[in-house]
């Protein structure tokens, strides 16, 4: 029976080593106790071994030696690049699933056209970012793009980068710094700025000879806030330039809305008593020329309209109030008053009228 005991003890020894090996591997694939979320960034084209080393560096694994074998055993070899937030109670299996499915822990921020820095700051705060730090960085961050050096400095502008935070859908890490959030939005503006070749258009269009990039962006912001139909934007731009040419107050209601927003007040409709006699640099009813800076962000269409205004003799416009989001355009005040009356009736009665242009 000697052979039996030899086989038996060999089996017990092997089983013992197997159990010890299992617990050792399990121990290395575990992690020290965590009390806070851990942010992990997986670069593109990372190998399983490299991902294991990253997890080990982040103390999500004790050792990465067996990681690639474990991932293959679990059939989780198609791991994706990205930035992931690993919660304290998540196991290695859950981490593998999160990385394999590409469930990046990034925060979606939608910035609509025509928004001010105040609205963007409120949206960021609602998503968990530091609103105060964001607003401070608008004036304090170091310039990254060449166009930033062309933005005019004025004591009448509360935030220098107002108007340059391009409207788009963004995805930011929860730990993203305010400067990087701003630079990402400025990067989108810069891309459109270069694509439109704004500098060349400023130099080649005689009508824009007295305009700077900052002034053009200011015009674009007025167009953005006043027009809702993209086809009308160049025509609205023409009205603005026509008024500037004859030194006529722009009388843009959107600038009055911005004026009150600068004072911490939110208004949706503008009445005469809100601007009559109000001494403020953004009051385009009593001041001549452009306001000190943009009153909102702008789309590429508004920027294009600002450097390619339609040539016409219109000096006035008023919303049709017929559900089309379009305007009546007039060359004189008498005609404008007539359109005002039609617009008022449309608003009161809710009746649509033909919109075949002027």
CA dihedral for 68, 45, 75, 89, sign (positive or negative):
positive
pLDDT (0 to 100) of residue 3: 60
pLDDT (0 to 100) of residue 27: 53
Closest CA to 163 of 126, 130, 120, 124: 120
Paired tokens of 285: 């009813």
Closest CA to 243 of 153, 333, 319, 179: 333
Those residues whose C-beta lies under 8 Å from the C-beta of residue 234, and which sit 6 or more positions away, are 304, 305, 308, 309, 310
pLDDT (0 to 100) of residue 11: 59
pLDDT (0 to 100) of residue 356: 32
Q: What DSSP string describes 161-217?
A: TTT-S--EEEEE-TT--HHHHHHHHHHHHHHHHHHHTHHHHHHH-GGGTT--HHHHH
pLDDT (0 to 100) of residue 129: 94
Q: Residue 296 in contact with residue 261, Cβ under 8 Å?
A: no
pLDDT (0 to 100) of residue 12: 52
Coil, strand or helix: which one is 316? Answer: strand
Burial class (CB in 10 A: 0-12, 13-18, 19+), 67: buried
Q: Residue 327 in contact with residue 320, Cβ under 8 Å?
A: yes
> To the nearest 10°, the Cα dihedral for 294, 297, 300, 304?
-20
User: Phi-psi bin for 44: left (phi > 0), alpha (psi -120 to 50), beta?
Assistant: beta
Burial class (CB in 10 A: 0-12, 13-18, 19+), 28: middle
pLDDT (0 to 100) of residue 28: 58
Coil, strand or helix: which one is 329? Answer: strand
CB atoms within 10 A of CB 233: 25
Paired tokens of 187: 């990067």
Closest CA to 216 of 191, 235, 194, 241: 241
Coil, strand or helix: which one is 323? Answer: coil
Q: How far apart are CA 65 and CA 69, in angstroms?
A: 9
Mean pLDDT, contiguous 10-residue spans, the chain (358 residues) = 56 52 52 78 84 84 76 78 81 82 78 96 94 96 93 91 95 89 96 89 84 95 93 96 95 92 85 84 94 96 95 93 89 93 85 38
Q: How far apart are CA 282 and CA 3, in angstroms?
A: 100
């Amino acid at each position: 029976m000697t052979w039996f005991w030899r086989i038996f003890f060999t089996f017990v020894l092997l089983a013992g080593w197997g159990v010890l090996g299992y617990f050792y591997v399990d121990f290395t694939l575990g992690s020290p106790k965590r009390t806070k979320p851990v942010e992990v960034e997986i670069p593109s084209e990372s190998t399983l071994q490299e991902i294991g080393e990253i997890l080990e560096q982040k103390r999500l694994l004790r050792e990465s030696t067996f990681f690639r074998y474990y991932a293959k055993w679990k059939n989780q070899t198609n791991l994706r690049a990205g930035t992931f937030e690993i919660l304290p109670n998540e196991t290695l299996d859950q981490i593998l699933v999160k990385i394999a499915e590409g469930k990046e822990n990034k925060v979606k921020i939608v910035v609509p056209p025509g928004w001010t820095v105040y609205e963007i700051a409120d949206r960021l705060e609602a998503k968990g970012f530091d609103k105060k730090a964001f607003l401070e960085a608008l004036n304090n961050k170091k310039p990254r793009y060449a166009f930033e050096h062309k933005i005019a400095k004025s004591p009448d502008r509360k935030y220098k980068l107002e108007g340059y935070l391009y409207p788009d859908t963004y995805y930011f890490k929860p730990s993203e710094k305010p400067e990087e959030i701003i630079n990402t939005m400025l990067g989108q503006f810069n891309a459109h700025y270069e694509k439109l070749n704004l500098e060349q258009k400023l130099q080649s269009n005689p009508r824009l000879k007295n305009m700077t990039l900052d002034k053009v962006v200011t015009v674009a912001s007025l167009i953005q806030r006043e027009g809702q139909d993209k086809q009308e934007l160049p025509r609205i731009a023409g009205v603005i330039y026509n008024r500037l040419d004859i030194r006529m107050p722009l009388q843009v209601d959107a600038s009055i809305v911005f004026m009150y927003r600068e004072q911490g007040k939110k208004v949706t409709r503008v009445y005469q008593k809100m601007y009559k006699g109000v001494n403020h640099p953004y009051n385009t009813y009593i001041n001549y020329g452009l306001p000190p800076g943009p009153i909102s962000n702008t789309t590429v269409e508004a920027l294009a309209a600002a450097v390619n205004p339609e040539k016409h003799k219109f000096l006035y416009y008023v919303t049709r109030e017929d559900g089309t989001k379009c305007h009546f355009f007039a060359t004189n005040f008498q005609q404008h008053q007539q359109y005002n009356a039609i617009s008022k009736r449309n608003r009161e009665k809710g009746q649509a009228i033909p919109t075949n242009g002027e």
